[in-house]
Structure 1
Amino acid sequence: MMLSSLLKKHAFSFGLFVVVGLAFAFPSLGSFGSGFPAKMLTQIGVGIIFFLLGISIPYQQLKNGYRPMRLHLYVLSWNYLGVPLLTGLLLLILGDVLPREIVMGFWLLAIMPTTIASAVTFTDLSGGSVSNAIFATLLSNVLAVLLVPVFAVLLFSLAEGLVVEFVPLLLKVGLLVLMPLLLGQFLRRIHFEWLSVVKRIRKPISSAIILFIVYAAFAQSVSNHALSDLSIVALLVMLGVAILLMVLVNLLVWWTSKYLALTSADRVAAFYCGSQKSLATGLPLAVMILAAVPDSQNAALMVIPMIVFHPLQLVLAGVLSSWLASKV
């Protein structure tokens, strides 16, 4: 009974490990060079994810959570400035023992938006302001459509010396991300009867698409023998960097949030929204960005930090939720 409950609660995290295992066992199906249209399905899947996100954005509910604005500016500053700066500091110290692709993966992780469902859920469990959490997470994820590609090009150019074709990347983001997002929001306003159905299917469909994207990325890298060069030492260092980054971000976000003069409930919302990184939005964006990076055949290596960070932050958030609830 306990095992069944655990599997149900963390089904997506377990699913990540399952699809990685399947990619090693059956790489040919997900390889872009096979007859199976994995690349096309990945791109279609990205569009579906952001279309469903557009439909699910509660425009009217956002009006209840846009104040105080300093909370949302604080969350954005951590999402797109604070975490990248901390990541750069850690990579400056430990980056030399990591493969170049893993380093690029940490840069990608650093510039991703906050989670939506997780941050809102843990804010609620901890007695925080749910309306503020909803506004902060959606604002971060919508802005990610424009900010993440720009930051990725700048970071890869400055930190890794890579030349990324920005205009084709921007066009692809517009086609696969921005247009589906706007279309979903438009349909939400004219077909309200869809909302209850979409609310039920959005999470399982998006989760299934993300699992397929992870499988395809790893299958491609296994087929190219790109993962054979990743040593146990590099994996352990990567895990250590991910844990250290997570702990530092959580400590600093909570510590600095006390200077915002927020209510206890708002501070909890600021903490969860400022400290987490989205896999649901981040991975689809990463797939498009990496497609524009020269010699990005090792895509699986570049998304490993994101995949590792995701379950770690959920475990920590679960541990902290009862402690934070006592503070509210």
Structure 2
Amino acid sequence: MALARNFKFKFDRFTLILISVILLASFLPAQGQAETAFKWLTNAAIALLFFMHGAKLSRQEIVAGATHWRLHLVVFGCTFAFFPLLGLLLKPLIAPLVGNSLYLGILYMCALPATVQSAIAFTSLARGNIPAAICSAAASSLIGIFITPLLVLWLLGADGDQSAHTIEAIKKIVVQLLIPFIAGQIARHWIGGWVSRNKSWLKNVDQTSIVLVVYTAFSQAVNQGLWSQVPLQNLLGLVLVCCAILAIVLFAIWFAAKLLGFNLEDRITILFAGSKKSLATGVPMAQVLFTGGSIGIMLLPIMIFHQIQLMVCAVLAKRFAARPSDSE
């Protein structure tokens, strides 16, 4: 429980940091040579971020939970199939509320993998199947490196030309994300112990990378007139849409897991692992997949959805945690 409480506090604080960075970029965007320097620094930070992801990912943890294949199929189906289909099917309702640009950002959010840390922390607090949560969350993050870009190219290719050319996008994914990740997995043989002992402060690498990407992306967007393109009513509509999508997904996952005969602990794991979308993966991946001012608009939905999912799932986890120990 202490882990989940600390996690919640840190992410709430981090959200405030991101809001501050957006305000900074709105009033003092990087321009000229400074903008170029931030782009280079951001690319290096993204490579380091995925290198550390590779170094932190334990193969033993994946093997330990991999036998629960039915649970993982449900989680992956929700993450990479139900979410994107929901985004497409709800277009007639969503697009008028948020506008076309933010709708594309919602489609991008729907294609992202699940979070790792929050899924595990909330499952732990709610007394779910923790080994399965570790396996599903870690595998989702890894699989997302391959599946998310393809989903994005398919979803946005059918609805606009905001994504990079297919071959160029795949090349960027391989160079900036996949190669550093594989290098981190290889390096784990030598630095795995050091990484495990220093997990607490190594989180700063993740957060610093995200802060750099957000500032650079929103600087580009502001320089190209972001806030004149996104009216206030569209932002309010975006909050409502994110709440609605999360509510639909939570109810659908819970009843589907119950219908499929999973026990309570497994249903809790499916609920928290299948309803999440990763800000930590979504921000750097947007830097790779999109160009110019479109990056900032693409990131708004996942940043808002991220905070909503944390608040809602914290309440749900506490309710599950309060159940009797012999509850079925």
- Could you state the TM-score of these two structures normalised by the residue count of structure 2? 0.91
Aligned equivalent of 2:314, options 293, 315, 318: 318
Q: Secondary structure at the match of 2:239?
A: helix
In structure 1, C-alpha distance between the alignment counterparts of 2:157 and 2:53, rounded to whole Å? 30
Aligned equivalent of 1:17, options 10, 16, 19: 19
CA gap 1:322/1:200 in 2 versus in 1, 3 angstroms: closer
In structure 1, C-alpha distance between the alignment counterparts of 2:32 and 2:209, rounded to whole Å? 16
CA contact (8 A) 1:188 1:194 kept: no
Q: Which 10-residue stretch deviates more, 199-208 or 210-219? A: 199-208
The runs of 5 or more residues in structure 1 that have no matched partner are: none
Q: Secondary structure at the match of 2:24?
A: helix
CA RMSD of aligned residues (A): 2.1
Aligned equivalent of 1:309, options 305, 311, 316: 305
Counterpart of 1:116?
116
CA contact (8 A) 2:114 2:278 kept: yes
CA contact (8 A) 1:206 1:280 kept: yes
In structure 2, C-alpha distance between the alignment counterparts of 1:45 and 1:160, rounded to whole Å? 29
Question: 1:6 deviation in Å?
Answer: 8.5
Tell me the percent identity: 27
CA contact (8 A) 1:129 1:266 kept: yes
CA gap 1:8/1:189 in 2 versus in 1, 3 angstroms: closer
Question: 1:32 deviation in Å?
Answer: 6.5
Q: Deviations over 1:62-97 (max 9, x none)?
A: 222112101001111000110111122222223134
CA contact (8 A) 2:106 2:301 kept: yes
Give matches, 1:1-328, under 5 Å. Answer: 8=10, 10-28=12-30, 31=31, 34=34, 37-160=37-160, 164-291=164-291, 296-325=292-321, 326=323
In structure 2, C-alpha distance between the alignment counterparts of 1:163 and 1:74, rounded to whole Å? 28
Q: Deviations over 1:264-317 (max 9, x none)?
A: 2122111111011000011111221113xxxx5232111100111001000001
In structure 2, C-alpha distance between the alignment counterparts of 1:50 and 1:186, rounded to whole Å? 13
Q: Deviations over 1:122-152 (max 9, x none)?
A: 0000001111111001111111111111111
Letter in 1 for 2:27: A
Q: Secondary structure at the match of 1:115?
A: coil
CA gap 1:229/1:190 in 2 versus in 1, 3 angstroms: closer
CA gap 1:35/1:238 in 2 versus in 1, 3 angstroms: closer
Q: Secondary structure at the match of 1:179?
A: helix
Q: Deviations over 1:168-216 (max 9, x none)?
A: 1111111111111111111112334323344233312101210121111
CA contact (8 A) 1:52 1:198 kept: no
CA gap 1:322/1:216 in 2 versus in 1, 3 angstroms: same
Q: How many residues align?
A: 319
In structure 1, C-alpha distance between the alignment counterparts of 2:114 and 2:82, rounded to whole Å? 13
CA gap 1:311/1:132 in 2 versus in 1, 3 angstroms: same
